[in-house]
Amino acid sequence: MYKKILIANRGEIAVRIIRACKELEIKTVAVFSDADRNSLHVNMADEAYNIGGPLPNESYLIGDNIIKVAKKAKCDGIHPGYGFLSENAEFAEKCIKNKIDFIGPSAEAIRLMGDKITSREIAKAAKVPLVPGTEGEVKDDEAVDVAKKIGFPLMIKASAGGGGKGMRLVHQMSDFENSLKMAKSEAKSAFNNDAVFIERFIQEPRHIEIQILGDKKGNVIHLFERECSIQRRHQKVVEEAPSPGVSKKTRELMGKIAVKLAKKVSYSGAGTVEFIMDQKENFYFLEMNTRVQVEHPITEMITGIDIVKEMIKVSSGQPLSIKQKDIGINGHAIECRICAEDPNNNFIPSPGVATYIKSPQGPGVRDDSSLFNGYEVTTFYDPMLSKLIVWGKDRNDAIKRMKRALEEYIVLGLKTNLGFLNRLMDDKDFISGKLDTGFIEKHKKLLKVPKENLEIASIAGAIILDSASGEVETIKDPRFTPWKYIARRSSLSRNSMF
């Protein structure tokens, strides 16, 4: 087992990995940019080193500097988390060359599955269902003819893409050429690679992913599926496990296909095989993410398996500690990404300082967060503040628990999506499990913030915060929340607060 691990990341995922290491009795080293000097992960780690300026390309994306720190601190492993260098094959190779384990899949597996065109070719060879589309990169001079053959609506996707970058949905030929130019330009800017491919757009699709784990001895298992259809700008907002739209038969088939694909590239560590599924449960390979996912906690909640610990163990050479036959689904879990953004304004990021934070607690509630009073949200990084996860005995129980937890969650000083998420939990289509990736677009009423809510938030902030210290000023009752305080002084019902 490792003696000391460097976490090449920031925020809640760095905190999550540090906690796993502490339970495994492994020393930890944090790295931080100038903007993250006072962050929680810096204070939690055994050692911490500054690696540069606030922009990612000045710090978290400079692999050579991170390896220098790892060697200086005598680390024997580097965990990349997600994002940044987590799917960078060159960085993984450099770690190994410097005799430091990269806690993730091999560089070859990252290279093969990280490119969407190559991964489609591998999936096709493994007889994995594919969305009809181009076999490889589409060239400018053939793009129009290819589009006509595939038919509309269609999707243009960056080969090296992720997070919705370099992606365009095109409904008609008159919009195609301009959309192609925009997708290629965005892909070049985001990934330094303007290669794109085209595939048919599946109507009202669900986004379903299978969590897999592999070791270096050839063993691969799956931990069932996650539903990731609630998205804005092609980025996930709410995830749940298991999916309310996947039958037992489809679940078993998806799992077997995901394991088969992972074995095809000798995969080790945590990863996900992502599918797009229509409303009749026909599913098609989308991509493979060769890293731990943001939404991994909901799988941990229904299986009882610590995915981050398993990553560390198998990377050190240990076999998987569980077998497929021993894994079952217990209950239902939901994750909401709490973000500093304005849902009423196309989810635009909302930088600023969190003047007061109160995280929900109670049975079945988990908050993966790096928040604290005075935490500053900058424009340098993703606006996600935390991940609120709940577990229930079934989906209905989990939804009710999430609503309760969201009502307890307080973030003052920033615009957040808490109100939107709370209204989502009340939506009849969401409750019934009628989901697809266009859900938010179809339910724009959920984005509208009642006027009285803005007034309540302003009054609450003025009442409870001391401008100098940022501490609760007048009410010492530990059960106090500003929402309860205001409710006692208004005719508004508890439900109308959100």
C-alpha span between 362 and 113 (Å, rounded)? 40
Instruction: Name the active-site residue from 111, 232, 291, 401.
Output: 291
C-alpha span between 173 and 151 (Å, rounded)? 9
Single out the residue of 466, 240, 442, 233 nearest to residue 341, CA to CA.
233
Q: How far is Cα of residue 320 from the mean position of the Cα atoms in its chain?
A: 24
Residue 176: how many CA atoms within 13 Å on its side-chain side?
20
Give the Cα-Cα-Cα angle 305, 312, 163 (nearest 5 degrees).
80
C-alpha span between 425 and 406 (Å, rounded)? 9
291 tagged catalytic: yes
Residues serving a catalytic function are: 291
